[in-house]
Structure 1
Amino acid sequence: MEKTSSEKLKENFEIQLSELESLESVYCNPGEFKVEDICTLVDIKEFVSDKTTLLPQYLDVTINLMVNDMKFELCFTLPHEYPNIEPEIFVRNQTLNRSRHIQLNKDLTQYISNVEKGEPCIFSAISWLQDHAEHYVEIKEETSARNDLKDEKYVRYWIYSHHIYSKTKRREIVDLANRLHIGGFCMPGKPGIICVEGTNFDCSEWWQSIKSMNWKRIFLKVEENDQEERGRGFLKFEKFEEVVFTNSGMKFNHMDMGELHVYLDKHSLAYIFKDLFGVDGKSNV
């Protein structure tokens, strides 16, 4: 007899819980293993034991590894369908230059995509990282291609993602934007919307790094250029921030589009709503 969707989910969650238990038993030293949101773990256990029918959020876990005296932070998010689909995995390391960091994540994502579906793969990802991390280490400091930016134009990227749930991804999106001194916002949930604005060089650097993460679907939907050469007058944001509006949906992860429209209008960007979603926006005011 074919399993129901609820039975399939329970089976997936049971596999996830078993894998987490094994990981925690191996990485048991303080700081090595961390579940980002304990409440999500509790929700999963309650769903499996039939104490609730509400779907839990995706589970975010971080494992800190020492490989050849270098610290690697392995962040992964387990979708409800895992292990039948690949997890979202991202590696952070503060000593690798940006190009090597991007390549490491691309290669790890490629490796995971080739692992047999239906089998837990976090230990495989860890083994791959331990075997290959040294290849990406570059002692020479990163040299920047940017020289004189006096005449560089400003740009604004509008990025659309199938969803943005992972707390580690959300943190990296904001942290990297702040390090590169670019403005904009990230709206997590489903769909996920990101706006970044700044110099062409900085925005391109940010986008190359962020899109190297393992995403279900993410793409640059609209690119605006400072064609009128207004310089900083083109920019609409003083900083980069995460914005969270009223949540709806079964998992409370669908942001209120009316509130998004109000937010865009506040920054004189309401015109972009139709380009992003194909419809005219309406505010709740």
Structure 2
Amino acid sequence: MELENNSNFNQIKLKETLQTQLSELEMLQSMFYNPGEIRVDDLVALKEITDFVNGDTAIIPPFLDITINLMIENTKFELCINLSHEYPEVEPDIYVRNHKMNRNQHAKVNKDLTDYIIQLERNEPCIFSAISWLQDNANNYIEPESETVPTKVEENEDLVRYWIYSHHIYSKSKRREILDLAHTLKITGFCMPGKPGIICIEGAAKDCNEWWQAIKSMNWKRIFCKISEECKEDKDLFLKFDNFEEKVFQNSSIKCNHMDMGELFKFLEDHKCGYVFKDLFGVEAKTSSSI
């Protein structure tokens, strides 16, 4: 009976937070009503959230992803927002993009925006406050880039491989940035979204370090490099992946955000990386989905 009561309480609490999110979205849509200013990235997810709040379904809905396009002094800024079920009791996942900013400028503006959001009162919607902060400060981060001569990658460049562990990776904007930056820097590896989130990057040390500095500056609940490997022998044998891609190992549970660890282990084994599984998760690997 106690478990049932807790379950009922959690459902009631979840409905409250999701209702707050829907109310905030409605407010934002009334402010940004011009075509292209605001977009719900997944309309099916929005309907599932609405149905859950209205009591039409008991299936836990996915997270809400919103994109807001702001024109600030004739410059377009894209604000990518992911709201977990706990928002507004926890900070929203927000990432700013702008085509005029380089990677360092992106990292700086997103870190400062995250620091600002953390200081705000919790349990209160804060997306409008984040928008106001960006409108007041955005152009301070856009500076003319000095012309630089592209540097050639030296043949004796050190190679590294990083295994990165995140509490979760859900945000579509983060997942896109992880992929885009890896492709830009010609890094290989993979990203497994869900809970937990696992990322492997490998390549030239300076490129991997640049990628890692940019990605970890985003707003994360928890993310860290758990394993770092350096090439000490044949460089042709060190690299395990041909490109960088997102890999989803979905288990059979409906609406489950957890990945099938048996499939992940098989994927690692196929790329001769099965040895890292125990260090990543602290358990011996199994080839079934019962991990």
For the superposition of Structure 1 and Structure 2, which TM-score range results when normalised by the shorter chain? over 0.9
Asked if 1:42 corresponds to 2:47, the answer is yes
In structure 1, the residue matched to 2:242 is 238
Q: Is structure 2 residue 57 aligned with structure 1 residue 20?
A: no
Shift of 1:271: 0.5
Among 209, 214, 217, the alignment partner of 2:214 is 209
One-letter amino acid matched to 2:124: E
Residue deviations 1:42-90 (CA, integer Å, cap 9, x gap): 1111111111111111111111111122211101111111111111111
SS at match of 1:255: coil
Q: Distance in 2 between matches of 1:54 and 1:214?
A: 28
Q: 2:256 aligns with which of 248, 252, 259?
A: 252
The aligned residue for residue 179 of structure 1 is: 184
Partner letter of residue 238 of structure 2?
F
Verify the 8 A CA contact 1:97 1:141 in the aligned structure 2: no
In the alignment, does 2:265 pair up with 1:261? yes
Identical counterparts, % of pairs: 58
Give the Cα separation in 1 of the matches to 2:110 and 2:215: 10
Displacement after TM superposition at 1:145 (Å): 9.4
Counterpart AA for 1:223? S
The root-mean-square deviation of aligned C-alpha atoms, in Å, is 1.9
Q: How much has 1:102 moved relative to structure 2? A: 0.5
Aligned-pair CA distance for 1:93: 1.3
Partner residue in 2 for 1:100: 105
- The answer for the alignment partner of 2:157 in structure 1 is 152
* CA distance, structure 2, for counterparts of residue 144 and residue 41 of structure 1: 47
Q: TM-score, normalized by length of structure 2?
A: 0.92
Q: Secondary structure at the match of 1:254?
A: coil
Q: How far is the alpha carbon of 1:140 from its aligned partner? A: 2.3
Partners of 1:249 and 1:122 in 2: CA distance: 32
Question: Is 2:171 the counterpart of 1:166?
Answer: yes
Pairing 1:76–2:90 present: no
Distance in 1 between residues matched to 2:213 and 2:110, nearest whole Å = 11
Q: Is the 8 A contact 1:60 1:166 kept in 2?
A: yes
Deviation at 1:143, TM superposition (A): 4.7
Q: CA separation in 2, counterparts of 1:142 and 1:265?
A: 44
Once the two structures are TM-superposed, the CA of residue 28 in structure 1 deviates from its matched residue by 1.6
> For residue 32 of structure 1, what is the amino acid of its counterpart?
E
Deviation at residue 218 of structure 1 after TM alignment? 0.8
1:132 lines up with 2:137 in the alignment? yes
For the Cα contact (< 8 Å) 1:158–1:195, is it kept in 2? Answer: yes
Match for residue 204 of structure 2 among 199, 206, 213: 199
Letter in 2 for 1:247: N
Unaligned runs of 5+ in 2: 1-5
Q: What runs of 5+ residues in structure 1 fail to find an aligned partner?
A: none
SS at match of 1:4: helix
Q: Which amino acid aligns with 1:18?
A: S
CA spacing shift, 1:168–1:222, aligned 2, 3 Å: same
Contact 1:33/1:61, CA 8 A, preserved across alignment: yes
Matched to 1:278, the amino acid is: G
1:116 counterpart residue number: 121
Q: What's the secondary structure of 2:207's corresponding residue? A: helix
- Measured in 1, the distance between the counterparts of 2:131 and 2:236 equals 44
How far the C-alpha of 1:111 sits from its partner, in A, is: 0.3
How high is the TM-score relative to the length of structure 1?
0.94
Structure 1 Cα separation of the partners of residues 270 and 115 of structure 2: 41
* In structure 1, distance between residues paired with 2:263 and 2:257: 14
**Distance apart, 1:258 and its partner CA:** 0.7
Residue type at the aligned position of 2:127: I
Answer yes or no: is 1:278 the counterpart of 2:282: yes
Say if 1:97 and 1:138, in contact at 8 Å, map to a contact too.
no
Q: Which amino acid aligns with 2:142?
A: V
CA contact (8 A) 1:98 1:142 kept: no
Aligned residues: 283
| 1:108-135 Cα deviation digits (max 9, x unpaired) | 0000000100111001001100100111
